[in-house]
Each structure stands twice: as structure tokens, then as C-alpha cells.
Amino acid sequence: MIASDRLTSIPERYPLVCQWEITCRCNLRCVMCYTDCFNRPEKIREELTTTEILRIMDELAEAGCIELALTGGEPLARSDFFDIYEHAKTGGFLVTLLTNGTLITEEIADRLAALPPHRIEISLHGITAHTFEQVTQGSGSFARCMRAIGLLCDRKLPLLLKTTAMTVNRDEVLTIKRYVNGLHESGHRVGYKLGEEMRLTLDGSDAPGLLALSDEELEDLNRQDAELWTEACRNQTSEAKPCTSGQQRFHIDAYGQLQLCSGNRRRGYDLRRGSFKEGFYQHLPAFPCPAKADPQAALLQPSASHA
Amino acid sequence: MTALVNWTDKIYAKNSDFVQREVAGECILIPVRRQLTDVNSLYVLNETGAALWRRMDGKTPLQAITLDFLNEFDVTQTQLEKDVASLIEDLLSIHAIREASPES
């Protein structure tokens, strides 16, 4: 028997990691959210049922998928969340839960601790109620989020707190990071990640982009913290690599569409109608991605010769 | 064939804290009720280990399992005993299995 941090013999193309947007439902209305446009009754009625989700999840397991990130919307806004979560855990998935935290009660924290996730990622977009709730548009949401962080820390669950840098919260980003560092230094298993990407909404609006910081503003922000600056420099200097979405990672939306990634929903394969293996192996490779290496390009290039 | 040593009289049962998954041809054990960091890692079983894990049902003595393996695998009894003993030790150390009584 070999103890291993990672599997070493995974083929280049293998369905290892799934990000699954199990709902667009959410109790908050975050100003930059790209799924909130589908957080309405008629779209929610179209979402996968519990039975459909569990059936597809079994297909993922059978295909060898092992890392499963449950996201939304707000996953905990589904009344059947724990049916889904517990099925994933007992099925042997390494589950990451992406949540706004505000629905986490003591009882829910206990249930999570009883079947601990690989990681819980919580969006923390402000460190004051004013800023946080300017983003979430939910009265009392800051207090609930902070309480959730405390409940999960108390249960020693691994957390990643994330902020999307925007015009409305840029003045609090460094304070948020210091707060997270303080938790970490106190012995809690908490990490921090600053995000900068603002996406078009699922119905095509670029409204979230109005909240984006300019490149200069982001640079100014990152320069104020050594770790953020190091990360920013690493991202700037690394050469653009071809997108590998669809190779070992894939995305499933709330309606059962298998897609390359959450940022590319140009095409989908309907998992309500077809099997996961057929979708992954026969359809996904043909889905368009502007950041993918052009398979024809290699054929057009002469073999390298060095004088 | 000589009798297998006494420890093979024991019966082992899987701990429901662990789930076995097949990933890219590898047999791995994943802790369900403990965090990965509590047991440090995933556990990848070799061919013998995977076969042993599948056969441990809390009822069948290790001796019966290992005798079957001698017929199934191209391995000497000495090597098999050594491999199985090592594996049992590893699985016990991470609490993936527990000793079961014959009547349980």
C-alpha cells in the first residue's frame, strides 16, 4: 500500500475534476454575480432534480472522477443539499463546497464536520457590514457569514476565504487578508485568495464589468501586499498556456449541461439525455475554446531546426 | 502446502470510514468521515492489496483469502504472507480495517 498525496498515473485526458453548479438559487444578490440572472422561479424549475443529480454523480464516479466542487448560486439554498453532499462523500469524492456561508447554522456546521469536505470556500467580499452588504445586497448577511467562519473554524474544517476585488470593496481587501492571516496564525486551517475576474452574466450582460478595477488599480492594490504582489507577478510573467479545460477538468451546469468550464458555456452536452462517458469522451473534445491549442497549428508548423 | 501462520486465522472487517474507488486503473482508499489531513493522504493499493480489500468482509478468515490468492496470483506463499502481513499492518495503522470476531 502506498500513501500518496496525489495520483501519478492519470492519463492526459481523464475526467478527474468536476465543478458542478448544482443551482443558480441564492439567498443573496451579489452585485457582480454571473448566475443571479437565473435565480428566478421559472429557471429554478428547470434545474436538475435530486434523482437526476445522484444518477449523474454515480456516472461520474463510475468514470473515475474523484474531485467534485459543488458550487452555485448557493449550494445550501437547495433543500436537498445534504442528500447531494452525503451521496458525494459516501461515494468517495473529495468534495469542495463553494458557499457564501450565510446559510451555515450550527446544525449545518455539525453535519459538515461529521462528513468533512476536502475544503470549504467562502466568499468574503468585505470586512465591514457596510461593504459586505453593499456587495451581497442582503441585510444581516455579514454577521451570518462571519458566524459561519467561526463555526467552521471551531470544527477545524479547512477553509479558503476568497474576495473578488471590485470598486466597491477595494479599500477593504488588505484588511480582509490581514483578518484571514490572523486566523491562520491562530492555528486555524484558513487560506486566502484574491480574485480579479469579472464575468459576463449567464444571460450575456456585462454589468459586472462596471465594477471591475482597472489594471492600474489592481496593480496598485497588489503592490501593497507582498504575497499578493508575488502572485500578481507570477500571473503576469507566466506565458499564456493553452487551456486544458476538458482534459482532466470539466463543468456541469444547473440544468445538466456538460461543458468545458464554467467560463465557457458556448456548447453543452445534455446529461439528462446522454451518458457522462459519451459526453466526456465523444463530445467534449470538439467543444470550442478560444484559449485551446489549435490542433491544426502543429500540422502547419515545420519541425524545428536550429542553425 | 504448509499451513499458513497463525495470524491468518484472524478475520478483518472494513471500516466504513473508508471508501474504495477505482481511478484510472488504480484502487484507492478515501477516508469519508475524517479529513484527508487526518490520515495524511490517499492510499493506493497494489494488485494484491486491492484484491485483499475486496475480499475482507468481516466473515472470511484471512487464511481462506490468502489460500485463494495462492491460486489466483503468481506468487510464493512466503512472499504472499509477507505482502499480506505488511498490508494488514498498514490498514490497521490508518484504521481502515478492524479485527472482527468469528460470530460478528
Of A7, A66, A90, the CB nearest to B32: A90
Of B24, B34, B36, the CB nearest to A10: B24
Q: In this complex, how many residue pairs, one in chain A and one in chain B, have their CB atoms less than 8 Å apart?
A: 73
Please name the residue of chain B whose CA is at the shortest distance from the CA of residue A158: B35
pLDDT averaged over chain B? Answer: 84
Residue A5 in domain: no
The verdict on ipTM greater than 0.95 is no
Residues in contact with A73: Cβ distance below 8 Å, sequence separation at least 6, in sequence order = A21, A22, A23, A24, A25, A26, A35, A39, A254
The Cα A112–Cα A157 span in angstroms is: 8
Mean predicted confidence (pLDDT) in B4-30: 85
Lowest-pLDDT range of A28-37, A136-145, A249-258, B6-15: B6-15
Residue A72 in domain: yes
Residue A11 in domain: no
**Counted domains in chain A:** 1
Please name the residue of chain A whose CA is at the shortest distance from the CA of residue B46: A1
Residue A272 in domain: yes
Q: What is the pLDDT of residue A303?
A: 34
Residue A305 in domain: no
CA-closest candidate to residue A225, choices A192, A253, A183: A192
pLDDT digits (tens, 9 = 90+) for B72-82: 888 898 998 88
Q: What is the pLDDT of residue B74?
A: 87
Pairing of strands B18-23, B42-45: unpaired
- Residue showing cell 451579489: A30
CATH code for the domain in which residue A116 is found: 3.20.20.70
Total H helices, total E strands in chain B: 4, 5
Cβ count near A147 (within 10 Å): 16
The Cα B53–Cα B71 span in angstroms is: 17
Whole-structure pTM value: 0.90
Residue A306 in domain: no
Please name the residue of chain A whose CA is at the shortest distance from the CA of residue B94: A3
In this structure, what C-alpha cell is assigned to residue B27? 484502487
Contacting residues of A for B87, CB less than 8 Å apart: 1
Of B21, B26, B41, the CB nearest to A9: B26
**What is the set of domains in chain B, with CATH numbers?**
8-97 (1.10.10)
pLDDT digits (tens, 9 = 90+) for A138-165: 999 999 999 999 999 999 999 999 999 9
In this structure, what C-alpha cell is assigned to residue B9? 486465522
Contacting residues of A for B25, CB less than 8 Å apart: 9
Residue A133 corresponds to which amino acid? E
Give Cα A287 distance to the centre of its chain: 21
Helix (H) or strand (E) holding A190: strand A190-195
Contacting residues of B for A191, CB less than 8 Å apart: none
pLDDT digits (tens, 9 = 90+) for A49-65: 999 999 999 999 999 99
- Please tell me whether residue B68 adopts helix, strand or coil conformation: helix
**A128 is in which domain, residue-wise?**
17-300
Our CA-based measurement puts residue B37 at a distance from the nearest CA of chain A, in whole angstroms, of 9
CB-based contacts of A109-113 (< 8 A; 24+ apart in sequence): A109/A148, A109/A151, A109/A152, A109/A154, A109/A155, A109/A157, A110/A155, A111/A82, A112/A152, A112/A155, A112/A157, A113/A155, A113/A156, A113/A157
The Cα B8–Cα B100 span in angstroms is: 13
